[in-house]
Chains A and B, each alone.
Chain A
């Protein structure tokens, strides 16, 4: 036969070694594990990147644009020109408050005049008449036409097709506006909406020099171009101008996005952990099989450094090839999922960027370095004398020393993937603790089984004796199996619990109408009115409008703060409330809720977000002024709010007496079922001064985002689940050859097929059972920590997990026993023994 090495002769030796090892099947399990690892990391990263981009775009719908510039005066032309130069789409808007009239009725309306193309992100929804089915539209009101929201239509008593007056002009009501994507945050300052086209605005004569109006410049386009434009524009903005971005968008949406990021990060981390386990097992097997080869090469005179470099390069080449394959597979996987889910996730997910590729390579190479380098370094210590005295191997390392680098690499990767220290540290800490506990528990269990195995049939005794004889190797396998199963159990059981808890954080019966401006003497009649109409009011909260004018005796102004949102808050009045007991959904993070002393002397509790932005600390003296009164009170607590709850939330809550001098009104919330659509109109007729705010549209929007996020997270979890099964399978295969040799030896010594199979069954049964029980314990513990301390959901005991764990463990090793047993029994004993020698 002619040597077939000619085409490869020019390749460097590490590449030739890699090809030979590959062809001989030495690296397939390792490479497969690495490919699967990188594929799962990148597919999660690719998919997460696309979903995240889509979510960001969705969240941008809250702005109606990718970048939204706001100004209290018209924009200079250069801001528009630069946007055009950068290829960004543009729409303009002007908002102001004006009286709208229809016959005898007049109502203060929040007018918004927009140019064609508005909104650039998200859609307007309109209905042909009140209480009719609404639908999305790409249009804006035609010339001479306006769209009114439900409240304005009801207040003016107009129907579509009828006319209203605005300034000097008459307009036809073209539709009922049911949703603007960029509807403002504050529920308290919004007048009912009137939407018109910008071209019609001049004719109304409402905007004159010095008129109080807000100007919007909506811009959208490629992510990089939009971000670059925002960076360019920021320093050019003058007083009264600002850029709205996600960072200062609505807190309740931000909270949802933050949590989505946590879930996506968590699923990516699980893939990383699976990868680490598989790579550790595969390299362990590889190095054990190469001890002799290394000694022979040393015997031939190869220098230690040279051999180490050779093996290292071989692994680097393998790593690069596997990472490339993994990235391609990851990309294909996510593309397949995205395609499969087109109808559910989003009509068109944006293309992923290059970052996931970088992430995949970094993760793959870092895992390989962390888990392959220590065994390779150990290989370096194999003495050449092993060629003569086979019992001489590399000096044994403790498991901790061998995997210290790997664990370090894993910790770094987890922190990187999580993007947050607490979540990354919790998951790593959980798995590190599980690793340690699993290791000790499996050694203990093996010892116990060995004792139990002293009685029984030959197969049983032999199988269980094997457990003890190979206790380190078996413990490694139990730990790997248990970790893999832990992840699978977390994914199948705990994931559902966590997601369900999150979904139910937004209760289905949350209030959907807020009523503000209730005078103290209207509280009782209003309650009666609601009761007569079968509507139950939730809570009523007193509201006082006041400015924060001094902190610790020092008068403050917007210019004192760098944060844009803080500046705006200082310029405006806050809605303060006062109460005896802390409202639901609030949690004191610093200090304590009001005491008797506080009630007597006056005190204030501050929300954490505003406290951080305004630099308010516990003990600070805050002065509030408004309605001709002022009060100075100490801060006695800082509170965290549940922004997901859709409850009225207050930045400042004082003791009741502190605001006694201020004019007070009340707000109330209730849930209006769809059955009585004209209820709002009846309510405002009965109490003309009340403003009723319909938050159901806003809630629909928030719910829609949450649903999409949950689905996205579930799909990412599903992929990690598939990766987990594959990696687990690779881990089980890694002990195959050891058992093959043993079975061959037994067969050669005259054991029957039934005896060989029986011995393996006994061993696998014990392994599967121990791994399964440990996995159930691990998944329950990690789930508990995640629920209680990271995601802050109430934890519920799940009994099913304690059945599923051992069953899954038995199923896994059962599959392995079936495959391995068949291989062992069908493999000629002579061949296996020759391989072993």
Chain B
């Protein structure tokens, strides 16, 4: 599903260069759940951004579902994301002007789906928010916001789900509930999962862990 080779990211840091990722090689099979773990600043989120084609590498390549990601332009990568990817973010990234239902409808609407409202409502029902469709993000708790984000990620039935510290902004109990929900949805849909976390307990629920330190894979 994912094949990365020699992936490096260097950013200017004043007069010098800062190495964030150094020649990362990794492969993720379809249906596999992989955790990327490491301390803060180890390059986890940067790696995730590169795997999603949100950022461009200084060197190396990424293949997503057999397509060479960085041979595509910005819009080409966006089109590929629309086809393959679902996202869950640490800071939820719900649009404040849209209610729960509309937030979930948004990726469907952008893809031109005609039954967006019905599908989004059904998905919110599945994550336990069937009664809160018309609520705006600011009136939802952190856990509820992340459930909406999960519904938004799964509603387009992605082949690959990328999750960036999905429990980072939640307390332990809520975080655990969200992780349970995410794995349940993942198992039901047979989605490939790449999960960035610094929590080893969550990482252990994945089939495989890739550990980053100083921008390199150490385990």
**Could you list which residues of chain A lie within 8 angstroms of chain B, going by C-beta atoms?**
1-6, 9, 13, 16, 20-21, 24, 26, 289, 292-293, 295-306, 383-385, 387-390, 831, 834-835, 837
Chain A residues closer than 8 Å to B45, beta-carbon distance: 388-389
Count: A-B pairs, CB below 8 Å: 105
* Option from B82, B95, B109 in Cβ contact (under 8 Å) with A296: B95
Q: How many residues of B contact A (CB 8 A)?
A: 48
Q: Is the CB of A300 within 8 A of B91?
A: no
Structural contact, B82 and A301, CB atoms closer than 8 A: yes
Is B59's beta carbon under 8 Å from chain A?
A: no
Contacts of A6 in B (CB 8 A): 117
Q: Which residues of B contact A4 (CB under 8 A)?
A: 134
Known: A6-B117, A24-B97, A300-B110; 19 extra A-B contacts, CB below 8 A, are A1-B130, A1-B134, A5-B102, A21-B97, A289-B96, A293-B95, A296-B95, A299-B81, A300-B81, A301-B83, A304-B75, A305-B75, A306-B110, A383-B54, A385-B55, A387-B54, A388-B54, A389-B45, A834-B138
**B1 contacts partner chain A, Cβ-Cβ < 8 Å:** no
Interface of A is mostly: helix
Report chain B residues within 8 Å CB of A297.
106, 110
Interface 1/0s, chain B 73-101, versus A by CB < 8 A? 01100111111010101010101111001
In the complex, per-residue mask of B91-133: 1 if CB is within 8 Å of any chain A CB, else 0: 1010111100110011101110010111011000000001111
Decide: B131 and A388 in contact? CB cutoff 8 A: no
Are B89 and A388 in contact (CB-based, < 8 A)? yes
Residues of A close to B109: CB separation below 8 A: 13, 16
A–B Cβ pairs within 8 angstroms, 11 of them: A1-B130, A1-B131, A1-B133, A13-B109, A20-B97, A295-B93, A299-B81, A303-B75, A384-B54, A387-B87, A837-B91
> Which residues on the B side are within 8 Å of A24 (C-beta)?
96-98, 136
Q: How far is the CB of A835 from chain B (nearest CB, A)?
A: 5
Task: Report the Cα distance A714→B114, complex, angstroms.
Answer: 56
> Considering the complex of A and B, which 4 residue pairs feature the smallest CB-CB distances, nearest first?
A301-B82, A24-B97, A301-B81, A300-B107
Chain A CB within 8 A of B35 CB:
no
Residues of B within 8 A of A26 (CB): 97
B143 at the interface (CB under 8 A from A): no
Q: Is the CB of A293 within 8 A of B82?
A: no
Q: Do B48 and A388 have beta carbons less than 8 Å apart? A: yes
Q: Is B175 an interface residue (CB 8 A)?
A: no
**Cα distance A390–B98 in the bound complex, in angstroms:** 20
State in angstroms the CA–CA spacing of A837 and B96 once bound together.
10
CA distance A389 to B48 in the complex (A): 11
Q: Which residues of B contact A390 (CB under 8 A)?
A: 91
| B49 part of interface (Cβ distance < 8 Å) | yes
Residues of B within 8 A of A2 (CB): 133
B96→A835 contact, CB < 8 A = yes
Assembly CA distance A75 to B131 (angstroms): 86
A5 in contact with B97 (CB, 8 Å): no
* CB under 8 Å from chain A, chain B span 130-171: 130-134, 136-138, 156, 164, 169
Complex: chain A residue closest to B102, CB-CB: A20
Contact B80 A301 (CB under 8 A): yes
For residue B119, give the distance in angstroms from its CB to the closest CB of chain A.
10
- Cβ contacts under 8 Å, A385 to chain B: 49, 54-55
Closest to B136 in A: A24
Indicate which residue in B98, B116, B169 contacts A20 across the interface (CB closer than 8 Å): B98
Known: A20-B98, A297-B106, A301-B82. A831 touches B138 (CB 8 A): yes
Please name all residues of chain B whose beta carbon is closer than 8 Å to the beta carbon of A289 when the two chains form the complex: 96
A residues less than 8 Å from B97 (CB atoms): 20-21, 24, 26, 293
Q: Does B34 make an interface contact (CB < 8 A)?
A: no
Q: What CA separation (Å) do A16 and B95 show in the bound complex?
A: 14
Q: Chain A residue with minimal CB distance to B109?
A: A13
Residues of B within 8 A of A303 (CB): 75, 78-79
Within 8 Å CB of B130, what residues of A? 1
Closest CB in chain A relative to B197 CB, distance in Å: 14
Is B117 a contact of A3 with CB atoms below 8 Å? yes
A732 to B109, CA, bound (A): 35
Q: Which residue of A lies closest to B134 (CB)?
A: A1
- Complex Cα distance A6/B118, Å? 9
Q: Is B4 an interface residue (CB 8 A)?
A: no
B69 part of interface (Cβ distance < 8 Å): no
List the A side residues contacting B96 at CB < 8 Å.
24, 289, 835
Q: Which residues on B sit within 8 Å (CB–CB) of A13?
A: 109-110
Cα of A384 to Cα of B93 in the assembled complex, Å: 12
B37 adjacent to chain A (CB < 8 Å): no
Complex Cα gap A497–B118 (Å): 66
B54 to A302, Cβ gap below 8 A?
no
Q: A299-B54, A385-B55 are in contact. Are A835 and B138 (CB under 8 A)?
A: yes
Closest chain-A Cβ to B13's Cβ sits at a distance in Å of 15
Contacts of A299 in B (CB 8 A): 52, 54, 81, 87, 93
Measured between beta carbons, the chain B residues less than 8 angstroms from A298 are 78
Q: How far is A603 from B85 in the complex, measured between Cα atoms in Å?
A: 91
A3–B83 CB distance below 8 A:
no
Give Cα A47–Cα B21 distance, bound, in whole angstroms. 67
- Chain B residues with CB under 8 A of A304: 74-75, 78
Nearest chain B CB to A35's CB is how many angstroms away? 20
CB distance from B62 to the nearest CB of A (A): 14
Q: Considering the chains assembled together, what is the distance between the CA atoms of A296 and B96 in angstroms?
A: 12
User: Would you call B105 and A5 a contact (CB within 8 A)?
Assistant: yes
Question: B106 — which chain A residues lie within 8 A by C-beta?
Answer: 296-297, 300
* Interchain CB contact under 8 A, A302 and B49: no
Separation of A300 and B138 alpha carbons in the complex (Å): 22
Q: How far is the CB of B198 from chain A (nearest CB, A)?
A: 15
Inside 8 A of B89's CB, which chain A residues have their CB? 387-388
For residue A384, which residues in chain B have a CB less than 8 angstroms away from its CB? Answer: 54, 78
Supposing A387-B87, A388-B48 touch, asked if A9 and B55 sit within 8 A by C-beta, the answer is no
Are B93 and A387 within 8 A (Cβ)? yes
Chain A residue with minimal CB distance to B95? A293
> What's the nearest-Cβ distance from chain B to residue A129, in Å?
79
Of A1, A293, A300, the residue contacting B132 (CB under 8 A) is A1
Min CB–CB distance B46 → chain A (angstroms): 8
CA distance A233 to B102 in the complex (A): 66
List chain B residues, Cβ under 8 A from A383: 54-55
Nearest B residue to A831 via CB reads B138
How many Å lie between the Cα of A378 and that of B91 in the bound state? Answer: 24
A3 pairs with B52, CB closer than 8 A: no
Q: Who on chain A is nearest to B45 by CB?
A: A388
Interface bits B42-54 vs A (CB < 8 Å: 1, else 0): 0001001100101
Are B93 and A5 in contact, CB atoms less than 8 angstroms apart?
no
**A3 contacts which chain B residues (CB < 8 A)?**
101, 117-118, 120-121, 133
Report the minimum CB–CB distance from A218 to chain B (whole Å).
64
